[in-house]
A = this chain, B = another copy of it.
Amino acid sequence: MIWDHDDDKPREECGIVGVFNHPEASLLVALGLHALQHRGQEACGITTYDGEKFHNERHMGLVGESFGGDLTSRLPGSAAIGHNRYSTAGKPAMRNIQPIFADLANTGFALAHNGNLTNAVALRKELINKGAIFQSTMDTEVVLQLVARSGRRLMRERVMEALQAVEGGYAFVGLTNKKLIGARDPVGLRPLVLGKIGQGWVLASETCALDMIGAEFIREIENGEVVIISEDGVESYRAFPERPESPCLFEYVYFARPDSVVQGRSVYQVRRRMGHQLARENPADVDVIVPVPDSGVPAALGFSEQSGVPFQLGIIRSHYVGRTFIEPTQLGRQKSISKKHSPNRSVLEGKRVLLVDDSIVRGNTSKKIVQMVRDAGAKEVHLRSASPPIVNPDFYGIDMPTKGELLASNNSLEQMRNFLNVETLGFLSVDGLYASIGVKRDMSMPQFSDHCFTGCYPTRLVDQMQEEGGKDRQLSLLD
């Protein structure tokens, strides 16, 4: 994927971590969130329970800027959950930072969530009609309200009752005065793994968070599973009838950190094989393979290995781009200017260049980068996407343009090639993507949620069926 403006990139809600029975729970959660920072950079929050009281901090900004100092005295307790939020358009409200919290009859209950519910708007209306007062505009709060209103006695029953009411893709971590709770949606769209550190337990979105804190990977939470972690250990419950899992392909394509392991597979090696496969499906007669950094690097290495064409860093990425930077539009754009990407002329000049990116969404940034490479003297520019064409939006927590804005949704390959202004353009095939993961695609029963590439959505889309969905009358309140 190629981007410059922050809004030209798929982003996921969010990274989550939970720790139970460790004397430095908040510190472990903070380090885990730091390892998951790529899943959300806008805001972060941690809630702990110290045996008597719940403690909470929520901040705008990065984990490393928010949770320094003597964390275990600011957020004491041996149980904690935390959350990273991705950057949304518009001014974010403090009240929309997770974890969120409710005071129930016998315990407090904190909740953090990655994903998106597809019937949150409908449920919210129903709950408001029953007298519920919402603190935030987050769909996560629907789950909190359902848990609070459940007539069931046991917390696991309350949670399962709530999950049975919601539709969508999600992973949750919850915290009470006695338990750490984890859950994944019925098909396992959003990830959640279980680890162990000393006598303590860890839940996290990706294995890289376990690695960061030195925890041992135990297993993935299964689709539709609810785990209740308490002093009695880990108990597993099923909120739904069993069905095959169908995780989201974008974890392999873009979201997961390359050093994470998903379903037993190294994400880095999957991406490298995507490069191999891409080179087989869409070869090119070029002088140099150049990744669009950083996300295109593993596939570009794979392409180079398969094709034998040298891999070089023809584009340099700056990691210092702030949020409120000068709009380059001010400069009149007489040249293609990017704050994130700079051409490495010595690699590009006079060469036939093949660019490898992880995906192409709107295509605007790709177009700019192509032009930048041409301006730097490339003789030819070819472009390869390590993901198949994205033709449908996601509704499970990936922040993506509408169908009308997706380049591949509205253009033929040749139209795209013209728009992007490249000599050749190629995408990995859906079958090829499955093959890179090591799975033979079964069209009758897809092993993965591939709706962005195929249109096959794994859940009902309640809110999306209703035009007025998502409108919120009082959004400006409480900022």
Contact = CB atoms under 8 A, between A and B. Distances in A.
Interface string A444-461: 000000000000000000
Contacts of A257: 316, 342
Contact of A259 (B105, B266, B344): B344
Interface in A325-365: 325-326, 328, 330-331, 334-335, 337, 339, 342-347
Contacts of A213: 331, 337
Given A313-B298, A316-B259, A31 B68 contact: no
A90 interface: no
A311 interface: yes
A342 B316 CA distance: 21
Name, among A128, A269, A318, A478, the residue most crowded by chain B CB atoms within 10 Å (CB to CB).
Answer: A478
Contact of A108 (B94, B312, B325, B473): B473
Name, among A30, A55, A331, A474, the residue most crowded by chain B CB atoms within 10 Å (CB to CB).
Answer: A474
A326 B212 contact: no
A104 B128 contact: yes
A150 interface: yes
A444 to B, nearest CB: 32
Contacts of A269: 346
Nearest to A66: B322
B477 A55 contact: yes
Interface string A302-324: 00010000111100101111111
Contacts of A68: 322-326
A252 interface: no
Given A53-B474, A65-B324, A71-B326, A334 B34 contact: no
A64 interface: yes
Contacts of A28: 331
A329 to B, nearest CB: 11
A211 B343 contact: yes
B320 A64 contact: yes
Interface in A33-73: 34-35, 37-38, 41, 47, 52-58, 61-69, 71-72
A27 interface: yes
Nearest to A45: B478
A321 to B, nearest CB: 5
Given A103-B133, A213-B331, A342-B211, A56 B322 contact: no
A432 interface: no
Contacts of A163: none
A347 to B, nearest CB: 7
B211 A326 contact: no
Nearest to A61: B322
Interface string A283-302: 00000000000000110010
Given A108-B473, A259-B342, A347-B268, A133 B133 contact: yes
A131 B150 contact: yes
B297 A305 contact: no
A408 interface: no
Contacts of A346: 259, 261, 266, 268-269
B108 A133 contact: no
A62 B131 contact: no
A101 interface: yes
A291 to B, nearest CB: 11
A132 interface: yes
A133 B268 contact: no
A134 interface: yes
A322 B477 contact: no
Contacts of A67: 325-326
A404 interface: no
Contact of A320 (B34, B71, B331): B34
A56 B473 contact: no
A-B residue pairs, 9 tightest by C-beta: A64-B322, A131-B149, A266-B346, A68-B324, A65-B322, A214-B335, A64-B325, A37-B320, A319-B319
Given A38-B320, A61-B322, A213-B331, 11 more contacts: A30-B326, A37-B318, A54-B477, A55-B476, A64-B323, A65-B325, A133-B133, A208-B342, A259-B343, A259-B344, A259-B346
